[in-house]
Chain A
Amino acid sequence: MTTASPPRPAIRIAHLNHWYGEGDLRRLVLRDLSLSVERGKTTFLMGPSGCGKTTLLTLVGALRSVMDGSVQVLGRELSGADETALVETRRRAGFIFQHHNLHRSLTVLQNVRMGLEVKGEAGKRDAIDRCLEVLSAVGLADHVHKYQDQISGGQKQRAAVARALVGKPELLLADEPTAALDSKTGREVIELVQRLAAERGMTVLMVTHDNRILDIADRIVEIEDGRILSEAPPKADAIPHPERLPTVWTRV
């Protein structure tokens, strides 16, 4: 009888150091950080502003070059990777930004279609159907031909979610996707992300300050001063409550 080997993690980070500036101005933002993120799980990165969580997200998203240490994403080592490898890794991930970052000259549908175009799938016969399907899933079926200035903040963020998900990424990276939304809309968007991620077996790594959505995470990683302070499943009392106030992470 053989024992099944544990599944390879989606993200494996070992002894990661990252800094900005040079010489006397050099500032270390990630210090000997190691982390492993399971496939198909939703992990929240939390911590005070400037703690390095967004830098970590950009390194995992192959948006920066790894300076020291190892970052493996979806089986590919990003340390020493060339531009082509970085771009290929980006194409396997979906990104949701703090501000929706929709293209203002494109309609909602055209914006979402860009998520397929980057993978060379926009010319396929079912491309529009796939866009409409995901737009329907995020509740924007009636707004597909509108421009970003014709829809609400929540709808913009839903459109950004649709753009990130339409290409069926293996990894979803999100940076404070609820920051510009009210609590109700923010929660709706995150629940939507979580539901679609679960349906598609995606790994989600999300930076957030928002204590109201902690219950949605499978795991919460706290970072402080470039190091991991703690990592654990969300506590039972993390279930959101209307009266709950932001805690330490929002006190900047």
Chain B
Amino acid sequence: MLRARTPLGWLQLTHSKSRFIVASAGVGFAVLLVFMQLGFMNMLFDSTTVIHQQFKTDLVIMSADAEGIVPDSGSFSRRRLIQAAGVPGVADWAEVYIGTLNWTKPSDGTLGAVVVFGVPTDVRVFANSALDAQMPLLRTSGTMLIDEGSRGDYRAFFARIAAGEQPQVKLAGETVTAIGTFNFGSSFGTEAYGVVSRETFLQLDRSRHPGVINMGLVTVTPGVDLASMADAVSKAIGATEVKVWTMPDFMEVTRDFLRVNSPIATIFTFGVLVGLFVGAVIVVQILTSDVQDHLGEYATFKAMGFKNRYLLGIVYEQSAILTVFGFLPALLLSILLYRLVGAAVAMDMNMTWSRVGWVFALTVGMCLAAGTIAVRRIYSADPAEVF
């Protein structure tokens, strides 16, 4: 069966290859802008929960006003954790001290800040088994593990550790021995993480009372419903100064806090809108110019008996073609840029299928809207004027 309809939109767009490439590149540029804005925004949101995923726990007890696992997320009495330990179904627990300590960067010798976790070494605290395996080494007082994802050029420093050396660093005014590394991946707000034993932490942060902790980790016996356990632990503690969460719920709280209480989402959403606006302007310009160029031919088609609907279809066909030919290269380029940016800032910047779907839908909407603006000129093609 022969095709009943000539693909005029395609033939018009591709008649001049260079113009077609420029047009597709214009749409692609807008799509790339949108992808990058969404990528940055989600990298920021994801980065706030990267640290959550490092802990091996079922429930997390935090200060009632905590929005994330950060040094200023609030502190509470260690007794609350011990209360939780008495709840039937609790298998294990661990306290975590968090503090921001000054250090002399091993990378370049300048002063900086490192977020340090002080943890017990006789309980499994971290999900990462390589990190967990190093915990017994921290029982030696004055030792620490350093995050390989720390921002800065630490290659030489980490190479020394990898070679078996134990270089010393100045941390909170004390000399501490770096005995190993781990990889959390850094976040926007934190340039480096360190892990020390509870005892070393209390030596470094002398203002900290041992009975005041920042986070409690609770592991429950297998098969117990986590949400009901969180309720049960919360009731057992009975204090309003803390809240008990399942870890996924707490991650959601952290993301929501950033989304609602910071201008980040607004800024990046505005960036997305700017990208879409730029794209729409480009597509309107391309399509309007194409309609204008072919106005005489469209008038001829009208004289031959083609209806406006057929001609509108040509413009919408062009919209669809520009959508696809702008979107696909932009998607590939975005994936490449995500990797480059992620590597540059030592953070994960991942493309997700849902984002691909959303941006494609936005691109379709953008091109359709632009097409709808451009088609208005078709009505001005007067078949009587071709004579």
Whether B387 pairs with A105 at a CB distance below 8 angstroms is no
Chain B interface mostly: helix
B71 interfacial contact with A, CB 8 Å: no
Whether B6 pairs with A106 at a CB distance below 8 angstroms is yes
Stretch at the interface among A33-41, A72-80, A95-103, A213-221: A95-103
Closest 4 CB pairs of A and B: A123-B4, A91-B305, A90-B305, A105-B15
- CB-nearest residue of chain A to B5: A117
B343 interfacial contact with A, CB 8 Å: no
A128 interfacial contact with B, CB 8 Å: yes
* Bound CA span A54–B386, Å: 11
In the bound complex, residues from chain B placing their C-beta under 8 Å from that of A105 are 8, 11-12, 15, 294
Whether A54 pairs with B297 at a CB distance below 8 angstroms is no
* Bound CA span A163–B297, Å: 13
Whether B303 pairs with A61 at a CB distance below 8 angstroms is yes
The count of chain B contact residues (Cβ–Cβ below 8 Å) is 24
Whether B384 pairs with A63 at a CB distance below 8 angstroms is yes
In the bound complex, residues from chain A placing their C-beta under 8 Å from that of B1 are 123, 125
Whether B6 pairs with A113 at a CB distance below 8 angstroms is yes
In the bound complex, residues from chain A placing their C-beta under 8 Å from that of B3 are 122-123
Q: Which B residues between 252 and 276 are near A, CB-CB below 8 angstroms? A: none
* Bound CA span A91–B310, Å: 14
Q: Which B residues between 277 and 322 are near A, CB-CB below 8 angstroms? A: 294, 296-297, 300-301, 303-307
A115 interfacial contact with B, CB 8 Å: yes
A141 interfacial contact with B, CB 8 Å: no
In the bound complex, residues from chain B placing their C-beta under 8 Å from that of A88 are 305
Q: 1/0 per residue A108-120: CB within 8 Å of B?
A: 0010011101111
- CB-nearest residue of chain B to A207: B387
The count of chain A contact residues (Cβ–Cβ below 8 Å) is 34
- CB-nearest residue of chain A to B11: A105
Q: Which B residues between 45 and 77 are near A, CB-CB below 8 angstroms? A: none
A58 interfacial contact with B, CB 8 Å: yes
A175 interfacial contact with B, CB 8 Å: yes
Q: How far is the CB of A140 from chain B (nearest CB, A)?
A: 18
Q: How far is the CB of B294 from chain A (nearest CB, A)?
A: 8
| B interface residues with partner A (beta carbon < 8 Å) | 1-6, 8, 11-12, 15, 294, 296-297, 300-301, 303-307, 383-384, 386-387
Given A122-B5, A123-B2, A128-B2: A101 and B383 interface contact (C-beta under 8 Å): no
Given A104-B15, A122-B2, A128-B2: A54 and B307 interface contact (C-beta under 8 Å): no
A29 interfacial contact with B, CB 8 Å: no
- CB-nearest residue of chain A to B298: A103
Given A95-B303, A106-B11: A175 and B387 interface contact (C-beta under 8 Å): yes
Q: 1/0 per residue A11-24: CB within 8 Å of B?
A: 00000000000000
Q: How far is the CB of B170 from chain A (nearest CB, A)?
A: 72
- CB-nearest residue of chain B to A163: B304
| 11 A–B contacts from the bound complex (CB under 8 Å) | A54-B387, A97-B387, A101-B296, A105-B15, A114-B301, A114-B304, A118-B305, A118-B306, A120-B4, A123-B4, A125-B1
A124 interfacial contact with B, CB 8 Å: yes
Q: Which A residues between 47 and 78 are near B, CB-CB below 8 angstroms? A: 54, 57-58, 61, 63-64
